[in-house]
Amino acid sequence: MKEEIIKKAKELENYIIEKRRDFHMYPELKYEEERTSQIVTEELKKLGYEVIRTAKTGVIGILRGSKEGKTVALRADMDALPVQEENDVPYKSRILGKMHACGHDAHVAMLLGAARILAEIKDNLNGTVKLIFQPAEEGGLGAKKIVEEGHLDDVDAVFGIHVWAELPSGAIGIKSGPLLASADAFRVIIKGKGGHGAVPHLSIDPIAASVDLVNAYQKIISREIDPLQPAVISVTSIKAGTTFNVIPETAELLGTIRTFSEEVRNYIIERMEQITEEYSKGMRTEGKFELTMEYIPPTINDENLAKFAKDVLSDIGKVVEPRPTMGAEDFAFYTTKSPGLFILLGIRNEEKGIIYPHHHPKFNVDEDVLWIGSAIYSLLAYKYLEGRI
């Protein structure tokens, strides 16, 4: 059956590419994925799946095998980004200011390919498959909504794939343990006393305090966190003032915190709050630190599922261990309910000029390897339900 699944995936190559290009031309942002969801729904219903709508614009397809057994979930995210595409390709985005710059179009196409394969081998499935076409991965916490709606309550294992610009085309990245970091967003407001730039002693400068705070936050990383515990604090925006000769009343700092450990994350937040408050007092300003985005946990791959996947997938591509990244993924919410494995599929091809990172206006994927994604989804579902783990 393994060889049959791989064969079927290769035969679906044109279908997968066609679907990917269609989704690419009509990108939809988080919770706007109406067209994409409609196409997914129609495809799944034609294949005999039970279809459920979820998380506003999400779709879940349920396929019950010939025998009772476990339930395995396969996830693909669907949303695009507010990026103006700069690629010169026939399937370039036709929606101004929107682009599939992260590869979610490929994820949807690969899972639709797997949907066809699994429907064809339905009688050989010892259990149930849930295909999760998720909205709003890019900042909308679509995965969290799906978990809150209870769709993972009966799931024994969940698998996801992300096309990956750092890996060569066709490479299959599997890593046990931490793979992607947690993510928080923060805002700091510093309130001083405005005045003329020529007489700063008559004012209380919030910009001066803000600059010192940025440096103080970095000392948490360099002097208070174990060097063997990866952690990042990035201040990505400082907004203050409107002209050259006026000291403003307030300054605003925005930024993000990334870690692989909830303990480290909590310590960083506690210290940032303390430093903001106490340093602001020392500089005669008022400082307020707050989190502005709901916490995304780190993505921690299940050790047993990682070993299982390496054994199952070794015949369809080179399996490598990818480096962890401080980027975040809301796939992590699924793993709070069920054992999970997030796999990376390499799509970097220098000969084709496919060299740009995720979220870049020239990001693209090597479509010749997308059939591998469909094979990965299908093989993992079949083998897991077969009881090979």
CB 181 within 8 A of CB 330: no
Strands 157-168, 70-77: pairing kind: parallel
For the record, the structure tokens of 216 come out as: 């103080």
* Cα–Cα distance measured from residue 322 to residue 174, given in angstroms and rounded to the nearest whole number: 7
Please enumerate in sequence order all residues whose Cβ is within 8 A of that of 141, keeping only pairs 6 or more positions apart, or say none: 294, 296, 330, 333
Binding residues: 102, 104, 138, 162, 359
Residue 25, sorted as left (phi over 0), alpha (psi -120 to 50) or beta, turns out to be alpha
- What residues contact residue 127 under an 8 Å CB cut-off, 6+ apart? 65, 67, 68, 69, 70, 71, 72, 385
Binding-site residues for Mn(2+)? 102, 104, 138, 162, 359
Beta-strand (E) ranges in 213-275?
231-239, 246-247, 250-259
Amino acid at 3: E
For the chain, the residue count is: 389
